[in-house]
Structure 1
Amino acid sequence: MHSDEPDLKLGGFSLWVFGRQFPEATDYWDGNWLNVRARVEAPGAGVEAKGAFVNIPELAGFVEQLEALHATLVGEAGLRCLEPNLEIAIRSGSRGHMAVKIMLTPDHMTQSHEFNFDLDQSHLGQLLDGCRSVLSRWPVRSKASA
């Protein structure tokens, strides 16, 4: 049974993680895809996508960038998924404000949805905690081979 509470939350963005796409796979390429439901809500709009479009190593890289952004409040952090369904960009602004751009689509061939939020840095800690929790439950399997 999965909680109604999202695993990750940032402004109007929520992400629920249901587990690995291929739970038995131990290799890098098949073993690191997560089945998720992502939703973005903003005044007058809501977009949701479901599937295996978040890769654990991408999420781990996002955590490293978030940690640096959270520590210095300078620069940006991005979750740039190999699959075109989801992209998150967080850029530091003035006086602790963060410009957040989220692109989410259930069908990248026929749709494009972009949301922009202005949030303060207090949201970064909660997002980092959520990402770390996901990575502790579903760590990166194996390493990419050249």
Structure 2
Amino acid sequence: MITGVTEPPELVIGLPNDDHLTVRVMGRMHPGSTDYWDGNWLISPISAHVGGFSAQLAAGLRVDELQTFRHGLELINQQLRGEAVLTSLEQWISLTVTCRPNGSLSVTGELADNPGIGNRLTFAITGLDQTNIPAMLTALSALESAYPLLGQP
């Protein structure tokens, strides 16, 4: 480990040795921008390992999209019901986490390698329950701390 070097913040949905999806935030796309529209774009590659498929996307997500997803997960964590949705403006990802009455989570989604004209991967991640939510919330909070929402719409 090199002192002073930190890993980019990341959100992992699923289990590292099983089906999972990872959103890693490398930085802001427009580091000099402080306005809501340009300043909140993040360089956020997405990787997925689901079933027999692996995907690597050079995606761009927005801080507000991740924030909306966190709010949905917080409600699930408090009420043990409902759903949290992560959708990207540019259609890189559509992800839904639904809490079933028994506390298990249904995670379904779709990834696009070239939104609008490229390939699409539809997937499900199984084997998760409400005990997996706190780690996701911690990761999303760390992302928001590193890249806070700038400006207002």
Could you tell me which residue of structure 1 aligns to residue 67 of structure 2? 60
Aligned counterparts of 1:15 and 1:110: Cα–Cα separation in 2: 20
Alignment of 1:88-99 (within 5 A): 88-99=95-106
Question: After TM superposition, which residue ranges in structure 1, 4 or more long, deviate above 6 angstroms?
Answer: none
**Which of 23, 27, 38 is the equivalent residue of 1:15?**
23
Matched, 1:72 2:75: no
Distance 2:13 2:104 in 1: 13
Q: Give 1:4-43 correspondences, 5 Å limit.
A: 7-11=10-14, 12-43=20-51
Task: State the distance in 2 between where 1:34 and 1:135 align.
Answer: 11
Distance 2:144 2:9 in 1: 15
- Are residues 1:141 and 2:143 paired? no
Question: Shift of residue 2 of structure 1?
Answer: 5.7
Shift of 1:99: 0.4
Contact 2:97 2:106 in 1 (8 A): yes
How far the C-alpha of 1:62 sits from its partner, in A, is 1.2
Q: CA RMSD in A?
A: 1.5
TM-score normalised by L of structure 1: 0.91
Unpaired runs of 5+ in structure 2? 15-19
Offset at 1:94?
3.3
Percent identity, please. 27
Paired position in structure 1 for 2:56: 48
Of 110, 116, 127, the match for 2:124: 116
